[in-house]
Structure 1
């Protein structure tokens, strides 16, 4: 363990408290965090930029929403595949072609939209534009894992920092896209998105010293797969529920504000929601948690459902802002804990892929949530849209409670050998052999996760 790294806590002690200042002093951190921020900011600009452009050129909310949805779905489906390739061949090998395809696809989409091309042509350009969005957030988390695997407490703080950064980009990104679209032209917003993606992506790819090691296929042609873990599949389903909260909130808050004649206030209300999440994420990362990550996940998700359950009954924007604040307070802790858990459920060669499955599930849930909320709003009024977060998050909570046993990290082979070696033989004699090594606490900092010793390969 390097000097200055907090000593991991044992089973009977609380994990060390690690602040953000100590995290950011991690050698090499700033070299990938700065370009990563520039590259992930467009993630929150693409959908809104598409909507603003297509609405301006085709005059149809339906067409604009459909084109943005195609982009979001393509990103959710293809993103995990690029994550798997990044684990296998390295992040730079995936980022370089991704940013090139993204720039060409966005340019094609802009040209088709300005030329008033039919909807199917816009779909054809939006799909590769979404599919080629660099999965920077997952790649940054993979870099933190590779550098902080010996300090679970610091890694928990890193995941908190990343979730807060995600929230910040989703607040700033749409504002930036709207400002450029309204002050210049709608197409300029997508041009800025593509430029940031290319510049940030190339700068991030250039930081190879901090990149995690590659995990190529084994001799039999196989490699670790994130989806082979039932726990990863469960967490992806839970994050799908979180995504429905994001999507439904965006549409429902806008509709509710317009219904009371204060459409301009929708950004403020949604900002309060996102601000609550950012605040909770900052505080969450500073706490030395004694509870296991699985217990925290169930608790945070239950609070999310509770917060969503009051939104539909709010009589005015002030009350909705307060309810949105309490709902937002549960968002970042849920995401942080989910990323913490998934890191313990997969092998080293599948961590980037696992993170992208969670991120993709959020994007897919966002598309489902916004679509379902829009349908309810059209038929039953603006407040009906707030039922979507309750249902989406509620289903996720039911799945987490019913299948919570899947969130336990698999016991490493070395530890299993040690356990079986300690058992008496058939004749009642002790056949145990001494095993050397040290137990490394899990991501929750409260129990051994892996036995590191001779021949462990770590």
Structure 2
């Protein structure tokens, strides 16, 4: 199964930027749990930890597309290096505020200020899209690999952060995450031979009338972003509901393992999906993926409501996880088809921001359900979010090229022409 992936790494520089990007992306999955443990330990409040984390997530969802736009205009290295160095300042400020007992509002300010986070996953996919621009099958394989690496980070990052925070000191998880993020990002952009060339001159060198508009002017991206927002609700609600369910059964420490099974199912599915030869329009494949994801998420709902125990719930969660990777892979491939190269980083950052906002909303809804309903009732939320994602995708199928692919492509071409 891994033989096709060896073909990808045979390309000069591919292995180097992939490993560097993997190291940098670990920070995204480590900081969440590390921040919660740090503030819960030093300030004694899970509520404060949760709201500070949510504020940072919202700020990042706003800042990431802006950084993506700058990357498209000026290049990955020219934007990432100053962004990484800047982010170290509010991060250091947060640790100092916690250490010195500063007022709570300073924590919100520091964590929200560190929102200039480059989307390394999107930049890696942009590199693959450039390297494999004439090889759609290989591009599908590369997108599957990147999704599997994302899931690997979500399996390893929280565990590593928790171990460091609880065995050494509460601050160590955050410090390690920052070191991984900064080091990985700088190593990533140091791989200059695989960096996509600028499709246009930098903003300062172009006339004011030709600066272009947002990728959201492409209808297909609006549909994908809304679908991904609902998908983010699945992730947020599934995580919190699983923790609450395990806690209600008196096995809260098992919750981490159950969540790892979701990521493991998605990781395995992503690797297998990459080896399959894609057939048919990408929009049709995306609809099939969303439909499969919605169907598979009925399994944790049935397990939770049926009270079948943690073992069968784990099996259901692993199976549910297998539906997310193919959907995400195909969605990212569709973005690469709908958007020109010069807007690719911003477009993928917008999609990721939609997921992040969805995670916040899903967590909030699942938290309310855990407080006011039975232990398994919270699984209605990810199942409902998956159904909503399917309805959105079906409603926007023409924009995704399902049944009217030529129309969607013409819409994208018109937007590109207008932007120029």
Q: TM-score, normalised by structure 2?
A: 0.91
* 1:298 lines up with 2:291 in the alignment: no
Structure 1, residues 344-395: CA drift from partner, whole Å, max 9, x if none?
Answer: 1111110011111111111111111111101110111321221211222211
Q: Do 2:164 and 2:173's aligned partners in 1 also have CA atoms closer than 8 Å?
A: yes
SS at match of 1:268: helix
Query: Is residue 62 of structure 2 the alignment partner of residue 69 of structure 1?
Result: no
Whole-Å separation in 2 of the counterparts to 1:119 and 1:163: 36
Structure 2 counterparts to residues 174-189 of structure 1, below 5 A: 174-189=158-173
Q: What is residue 334 of structure 1 aligned with on the other side?
A: 327
Instruction: Tell me how large the CA RMSD over aligned residues is.
Output: 1.8
State which drifts further: 56-65 or 160-169.
56-65
Superposition pairs of residues 111-190 of structure 1, within 5 angstroms: 111-129=96-114, 131-190=115-174
Matching residue of 2:11: 26
More helix by share: 2
CA-CA distance at 1:412 after TM superposition: 6.5
Hey, what's the Cα distance between the residues in 2 that align with 1:289 and 1:205?
A: 31
1:323-362 matches, cutoff 5 A: 323-362=316-355
Q: Is the 8 A contact 1:47 1:72 kept in 2?
A: no
Q: Report the alpha carbon displacement of residue 18 of structure 1 after superposing the two structures with TM.
A: 8.6
Aligned residues: 398
SS at match of 1:382: coil
Which of the pair has more CA radius of gyration?
Answer: 1
Contact kept? 2:67, 2:117, Cα under 8 Å: no
Aligned: 1:375 with 2:359:
no
Counterpart among 227, 242, 267 of residue 256 in structure 2: 267
| Aligned match of 1:84 | 69
Give 1:401 shift.
0.4
CA deviations 1:108-154 (Å, max 9, x no partner) are 1111122233322111011022x122210010001111111000000
Deviation at 1:224?
A: 5.4
CA contact (8 A) 1:164 1:278 kept: yes
- The C-alpha deviation readout for 1:406-435, integer Å capped at 9, x for no partner, is 01264469x99xxxxxxxxxxxxxxxxxxx
Q: For residues 153 and 353 of structure 1, what CA distance do their matches in structure 2 show?
A: 24
Unaligned 5+ segments in structure 2 are: 415-420
- How far residue 57 of structure 1 moved from its aligned partner, in angstroms, is 1.4
Distance 2:324 2:346 in 1: 22
C-alpha distance in 2 between matches for 1:221 and 1:289: 37
Larger CA deviation: 61-70 vs 265-274: 265-274
Give the aligned partner of residue 258 of structure 1: 247
- The question of whether the paired residues in 2 share the 8 Å contact of 1:226 and 1:353 is answered with yes
SS of equivalent to 1:289: coil
Provide the rounded CA distance (Å) in 2 between the counterparts of 1:293 and 1:411: 12
Aligned to 2:228: 239
The separation in 2 between residues aligned to 1:34 and 1:268, in whole angstroms, is 25
1:282 to 247, 271, 295: 271
1:94 aligns with 2:76: no
User: Are residues 224 and 140 of structure 1, via their aligned partners in 2, closer, same or farther at CA, if it must alter by over 3 Å?
Assistant: farther
Which 10-residue stretch deviates more, 337-346 or 53-62? 53-62
Which has the higher mean CA deviation after the structures are superposed, 110-119 or 277-286?
110-119
SS in 1 for 2:280: coil
Cα displacement string for residues 30-50 of structure 1 (whole angstroms, at most 9, x for unaligned residues): 221121111111011111111
Distance across 1 between alignment mates of 2:390 and 2:132: 30
Task: Compute the displacement of 1:335 (Å).
Answer: 0.3
Q: What is the DSSP-based 3-state SS (H/G/I as helix, E as strand, rest coil) of the residue aligned with 1:79?
A: helix
For 1:382 and 1:363, the matched residues in 2 are separated by 25
Decide whether aligned partners of structure 1 residues 381 and 117 sit closer, same or farther in structure 2, where only a CA change above 3 A counts: farther
* Residues 148-183 of structure 1: CA deviation (Å, up to 9, x unaligned): 100000000000000000000111111110011011
Report if aligned partners of 1:224, 1:350 keep a CA contact under 8 Å in 2. Answer: no
Question: Which 10-residue stretch deviates more, 306-315 or 246-255?
Answer: 306-315
Question: Which residue of structure 2 lines up, in the alignment, with residue 448 of structure 1?
Answer: none
